[in-house]
Structure 1
């Protein structure tokens, strides 16, 4: 099953304070599993590996595509490739995106967020 929770843990965008052993830490909270960090907030993302990313999993990202311009997609421990049809969906929504291991994606997201850039992150826990 892929997708995301409709209710964000936080109704605002915040940096990722830490990531290890399937957990993300942000704003004094922690979550086991993958997350979306989008302009609307941080929420669970029911994706366990890049192969799980389908149109349904991308739907919450695409719904907010006009609110940010660059998406960091954390692929887990290792680099991975996103299926071309999913890349096409992101491009059609006007999003630029970068795929990289989750630790690097979270760190890069944090740097650009702190600079006031319009970014989002879809981070797969490993």
Structure 2
């Protein structure tokens, strides 16, 4: 029995994280990133305290629409301000804050299931 889903070759898979960066679909990143099933891009947030609606603009504009954005907060999960959560939700995006490792693993799992998931990740 194959326990791993068949992930299409054009999908972004988080291969590794740690040592201040990520390896995503074979490419090494040394900064924070936004990961979508079809692409990865640099993200200018190095500290979760700087998270804002504006910093997540690429996720709001993604087509097909993202249904869940996982926020990798760094080495530990941080609670996101209720007001900021509400502002993000009003733009049609649900967020879930996790430590970066958990966000990476959860992204791979949900993306492999075909969910419209993305991840905003701060390196550890």
TM-score normalized by structure 1?
0.82
Instruction: Tell me the matched-pair count.
Output: 115
Residue pairs, 1:111-122, within 5 angstroms: 111-122=109-120
| Structure 1 residue 118 displacement after superposition | 1.0
Task: Decide whether the 8 Å contact of 1:37 with 1:43 is kept in 2.
Answer: yes
Q: Could you say which residue in structure 1 is the equivalent of 2:3?
A: none
Q: Could you say which residue in structure 1 is the equivalent of 2:25?
A: 27
Stretch of structure 1 that moved more, 71-80 or 61-70: 61-70
Structure 1 residues 81 and 66: CA distance shift in structure 2, 3 A = farther
| Structure 1 residue 122 displacement after superposition | 0.5
Q: 1:57-86 CA deviation, whole Å, 9 max, x = no partner?
A: 121122227612111110100110222332
Q: Could you say which residue in structure 2 is the equivalent of 1:76?
A: 74
Tell me whether 1:59 sits opposite 2:57 in the alignment: yes
RMSD: 1.7
TM-score normalized by structure 2?
0.83
* Whole-angstrom distance in 2 between the partners of 1:71 and 1:65: 14
Rg comparison, structure with higher value:
2
| Structure 1 residue 40 displacement after superposition | 5.0
* Whole-angstrom distance in 1 between the partners of 2:108 and 2:87: 25
